[in-house]
Homo-oligomer: A and B are copies of this chain.
Amino acid sequence: MTKTIGVIGGMGPAATVDFFAKLLEATPAERDQDHLRVLIDCNPRVPDRNAAIAGRGPSPGPQLADAARGLERAGADVLVIACNTAHAFAADIQAAVDIPLLSMIEATADAALAGNRSRVGVLAADGCRRAGLYQRAFAERDVEALFLNDAAQQDFMQLIYRIKAGDIGDASRRAMERLAISLNARGAQAVIAACTEAPLVLNADTLATPVISSTDALVARVVAFARAG
């Protein structure tokens, strides 16, 4: 019997749809009944994670813990969060439930290790950077994490909020590509889309180095976990 996956989502909702779609694509299935059961709490009312981490807004921790409890009660055997930055509150979430929370940060950092890389670029939101999530994950793996410089990081955050507003057109795609290329130019052997809005516009085909999607990395990990039964 496979496990039921609980998804804490809504940060943003389009990233949750993307995660859900990729979860299906990654599940070998010939008929409905071969697919995994997935419970999703897409709650876009969770307070802004970046504002909270910067000390400019309320913590989303209690609402994320509530979502975790609700998913466990509804039958989830394992939890995931379809948002990198929200992993700053992973301890609040794990403390609220008895089922495991699979980390998007760990799954992504492990995926980035392939190919013996020593330096990777990380496209991450302000809150994710400030909370040190990827810095810690890569320090443990002895890989250097390169982040955008200050001006580019401001552009990145504006772009993320534009994507959240639904703008995933060519201009957004080109802007994300330019930011990724700036990390390549500084020696990144791969670029990590470490914000779940990034894969909505990042086209790996036009970059000189691989793009590692945090969404895909977590999908692969949770599908393997759920199918292990």
Q: Does A31 contact B (CB under 8 A)?
A: yes
**CB contact list, A4-45 vs B, under 8 A:** 10-14, 16-17, 20-21, 24, 29-45
Q: How far is the CB of A103 from chain B (nearest CB, A)?
A: 21
Contact indicator A12/B40 (Cβ below 8 Å): no
Q: Does A74 contact B (CB under 8 A)?
A: yes
Contact indicator B37/A44 (Cβ below 8 Å): yes
CB-CB under 8 A from A20, the residues of chain B are 16-17, 20, 40, 42
Q: Does A129 contact B (CB under 8 A)?
A: no
Within 8 Å by CB of A17, from B10, B12, B24, lies B24
CB-CB under 8 A from A32, the residues of chain B are 10-13, 44, 46, 48, 164
Can you tell how many copies of this chain the complex includes? 2
Please report the C-alpha to C-alpha distance between residue A150 and residue B46 in the assembled complex, in whole angstroms: 51
Please report the C-alpha to C-alpha distance between residue A42 and residue B37 in the assembled complex, in whole angstroms: 6
Within 8 Å by CB of A35, from B12, B37, B41, B73, lies B12
Contact indicator A44/B39 (Cβ below 8 Å): no
Contact indicator B17/A35 (Cβ below 8 Å): no
Please report the C-alpha to C-alpha distance between residue A34 and residue B74 in the assembled complex, in whole angstroms: 26
Q: Specify the chain B residue showing the minimal Cβ separation from A197.
A: B32
Q: Does A114 contact B (CB under 8 A)?
A: no
Please report the C-alpha to C-alpha distance between residue A161 and residue B10 in the assembled complex, in whole angstroms: 31
